């Protein structure tokens, strides 16, 4: 086994900012950004992604942690603890990469999980292992969403036949001003962005 030179004594718990109950996705985004700054992960950023088969993703090349918008919407009220666990899991990746150059779910990642308060960090080999069962069965392949915010309005199993000119005239009822000319069809992509 590779020795990453982890100081065995350096196992002090790392305190994360406290947060109130998350009311919406923006609360979660703000929280992750607070954590990144608190942990000194200054080159890292947070964003939402469109994955449907895994909750969280830590993109080392981009120094970016992302969470599935679908997942977060579905579990915001139902199981916020699961969202929190995913955030800790991804933060542990960022710390392991930046401080020890370790990628994947190795010894350093595991140590950071514990220090961040994740009691049973999964040591299975993929972030995908977090995926709730119904996400794995999901068959939606295309969505109608807002070009700028990524908000999803409709889901489709097959690519909808809407040409660009028609899309340009489409808007969401009750939200014409903010959606007219701003809607796009996107293929769902499990690799995040």
> Which residues of the shown chain bind Zn ion in the complex (CB under 5 A)?
127
- For Zn ion, the closer of residues 112 and 182 by Cβ is 112
Closest to Zn ion by CB, 46 vs 179, is 46
Q: How far is the CB of 112 from Zn ion (least distance, A)?
A: 11
Q: How far is the CB of 9 from Zn ion (least distance, A)?
A: 26
- Residue 193: name the closest of 67, 108, 4 by CA: 67
Residue 127 or 183: the one with the smaller Cβ distance to Zn ion is: 127
- Round to the nearest angstrom and report the end-to-end CA distance of the chain: 33
Token pair for residue 65?
């942690």
Tell me the residue nearest to Zn ion as measured from the CB: 127
Least separation in angstroms between CB 139 and Zn ion: 25
Compute the distance between CA of residue 106 and CA of residue 101 in angstroms, rounded to an integer: 11
Closer CB to Zn ion, residue 15 or residue 60? 60
* Minimum distance of Zn ion from residue 127's CB (angstroms): 4
Nearest 10 degrees: CA dihedral of 171, 173, 175, 180? 10
Length of the chain counted residue by residue: 193
Instruction: Look at the block and give the residue holding tokens 């999980």.
Output: 113
């Amino acid at each position: 086994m590779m020795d990453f030179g982890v100081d065995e004594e350096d196992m002090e718990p790392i305190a994360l900012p406290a947060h109130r109950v998350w009311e919406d996705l923006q609360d979660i985004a703000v929280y992750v950004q607070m954590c990144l700054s608190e942990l000194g992960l200054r080159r890292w950023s947070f964003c939402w992604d469109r994955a449907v088969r895994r909750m969280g993703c830590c993109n080392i090349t981009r120094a970016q942690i992302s969470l599935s918008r679908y997942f977060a919407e579905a579990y915001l009220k139902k199981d916020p603890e699961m969202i929190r666990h995913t955030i800790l899991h991804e933060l542990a990746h960022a710390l392991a990469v930046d401080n020890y150059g370790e990628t994947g779910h190795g010894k350093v990642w595991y140590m950071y999980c514990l220090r961040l308060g994740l009691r049973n960090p999964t040591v299975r080999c993929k972030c995908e292992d977090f995926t709730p069962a119904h996400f794995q069965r999901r068959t939606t392949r295309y969505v109608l969403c807002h070009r700028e915010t990524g908000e999803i309005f409709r889901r489709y199993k097959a690519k909808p036949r809407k040409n660009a000119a028609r899309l340009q005239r489409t808007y969401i009822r009750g939200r014409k001003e903010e959606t007219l000319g701003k809607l796009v069809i996107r293929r769902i992509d499990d690799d995040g962005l």
